[in-house]
């Protein structure tokens, strides 16, 4: 009697398990798979996940492993819904190649013979000059454009050709990039400052090398100061001390004294006790030959608590 009741319970469990597995198979094949395919917009076939073959294999597992099979899939789906119920937000994840540092073995033979490009031009040894030019071209040349410009007057035609080709390419890139960023600044929303900040930092790195003609240098300095003006109008706090200094110095180089004076005043107002605030005013007064303002600024610097570098200290010694 006990055995017969156990057999009935066992058969009931098997039938219920089979019914559950069958309902799962039919629901997946007839409803879930077409719904997933329609949501994914897949017209050529089913998705690689949760397709009809997957539901068939799960059905066989449920039939061959009564109770355990359905419970396994049910708990797996429940865990997925509780833990992975929303998509991962990758908006703040940055994949930057700049963080990858490649360690390469030093080329001792090449580095033993390295000399500055200026010295190679002065010595005028064709072999050394060409080797230095090729080594410079292989590196990031944006900080070496002024030195490459010197090679244009070299007696070695091949070296001067290298220099002309590199300069032409880099300066064209600079012109196009500045024009594109300047257009983006005109189209920015009132609170956006990203393009101005990028343009200020990018242009100063090239303009400080004085590789353009006077007319073109003045043109780009005007774009630089206009970008700084735009940034100042939107958010003055985004103008760092370094950006104030670069705008002042570039304006001084093209003898835009009124514009340089305006930015020196703004830098003094925002960074009153910083060394560049004094040195830029000293350079402006010297360029204008304004002795009174020069010595007033110099005396104010000596009375201040600003830490003075060697160059400024030497200046104080000369004029004291």
What CATH number has the domain bearing residue 298? 1.25.40.10
Number of domains composing the chain: 3
In a domain, 298, yes or no: yes
**Residue 249: inside a domain, yes or no?**
yes
Q: How confident is the model over 91-97, as a mean pLDDT?
A: 53
Residue 23 and residue 126 share a domain = no
CA separation (Å) from 272 to 268, 284, 302, 305? Answer: 5, 16, 14, 11
Q: Is 162 exposed, middle or buried (0-12, 13-18, 19+ CB in 10 A)?
A: buried
Residues 200 and 309 in one domain: yes
Residue 77 and residue 40 share a domain: yes
Task: Report percent pLDDT > 90 for the chain.
Answer: 9
* Average confidence score pLDDT of the chain: 77
Residue 183 to residue 257: CA distance in whole angstroms: 27
Looking at the fold, whether 148 and 32 belong to one and the same domain comes out as no
Choice among 146-160, 205-219, 303-317 with the minimum mean pLDDT: 146-160
Look at residue 95 and tell me if it is in a domain.
Answer: no
Identify the band that residue 44 occupies on the pLDDT scale cut at 50, 70 and 90. very low
Same domain, 218 and 319: yes
Co-location of 144 and 197 in the same domain: no
Do residues 225 and 261 touch, judged by C-beta distance below 8 A? no
Tell me if 173 is assigned to some domain: no
Closest CA to 124 of 113, 135, 112, 132: 132
With respect to residue 47, please indicate whether it lies within any of the assigned structural domains: yes
Q: Is the pLDDT assigned to residue 289 strictly greater than 60?
A: yes
Q: Which among 236, 302, 257, 247 is positioned nearest to 275, based on CA atoms? A: 302
User: pLDDT higher for 121 or 304?
Assistant: 304
Model-level pTM?
0.56
Same domain, 201 and 283: yes
Q: Are residues 57 and 22 in the same domain?
A: yes
Residue at 152 is within a domain: yes
Q: Are residues 124 and 74 in the same domain?
A: no
- For residue 193, being part of any structural domain is answered with yes
How do residues 160-177 score in pLDDT, each as one tens digit?
Answer: 676 777 778 888 888 998
Determine the average pLDDT of the residues in 232-238.
88
Same domain? For 234 and 302 the reply is: yes
Torsion of CA 133, 136, 137, 142, to 10 degrees: -130
Measured from the Cβ of residue 152, the count of other Cβ atoms closer than 10 Å reads 14
- Write down which residue in 122, 139, 168 finishes a domain: 168
- The parent domain of residue 164 ranges over 106-168
Q: Is 239 among the domain residues?
A: yes
| CA 227-229-235 angle, 5° bins | 100
243 and 273 assigned to the same domain:
yes
Q: Check whether residue 79 and residue 116 sit in a common domain.
A: no
* Dihedrals phi, psi of 78, to nearest 5 degrees: -65, -40
């Amino acid at each position: 009697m006990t055995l017969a009741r156990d057999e009935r319970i066992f058969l009931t469990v098997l039938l219920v398990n089979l019914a559950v597995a069958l309902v799962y198979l039919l629901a997946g094949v007839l409803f879930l798979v077409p719904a997933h395919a329609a949501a994914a917009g897949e017209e050529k076939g089913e998705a690689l996940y949760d397709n009809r073959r997957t539901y068939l294999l799960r059905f066989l597992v449920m039939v061959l492993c009564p109770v355990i099979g359905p419970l396994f899939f049910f708990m797996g789906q429940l865990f997925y819904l509780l833990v992975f119920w929303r998509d991962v937000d990758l908006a703040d994840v940055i994949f930057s190649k700049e963080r990858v540092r490649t360690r390469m073995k030093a080329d001792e033979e090449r580095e033993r013979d390295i000399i500055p490009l200026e010295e190679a031009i002065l010595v005028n040894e064709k072999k050394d000059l060409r080797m230095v030019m090729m080594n410079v071209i292989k590196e990031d040349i944006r900080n070496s454009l002024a030195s490459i410009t010197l090679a244009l007057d070299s007696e070695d035609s091949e070296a001067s050709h290298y220099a002309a080709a590199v300069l032409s390419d880099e300066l064209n890139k600079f012109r196009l990039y500045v024009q594109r960023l300047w257009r983006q600044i005109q189209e920015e929303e009132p609170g956006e400052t990203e393009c101005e900040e990028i343009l200020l930092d990018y242009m100063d790195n090239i303009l400080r090398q004085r590789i353009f003609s006077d007319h073109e240098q003045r043109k780009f300095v005007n774009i630089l100061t206009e970008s700084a003006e735009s940034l100042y109008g939107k958010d003055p706090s985004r103008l760092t001390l370094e950006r104030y200094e670069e705008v002042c110095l570039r304006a001084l180089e093209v003898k835009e004294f009124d514009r340089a004076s305006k930015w020196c005043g703004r830098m003094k107002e925002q960074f009153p006790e910083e060394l560049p605030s004094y040195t830029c005013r000293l350079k402006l007064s010297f360029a204008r030959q304004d002795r009174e303002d020069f010595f007033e600024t110099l005396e104010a610097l000596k009375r201040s608590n600003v830490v003075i570098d060697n160059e400024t200290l030497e200046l104080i010694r000369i004029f004291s």
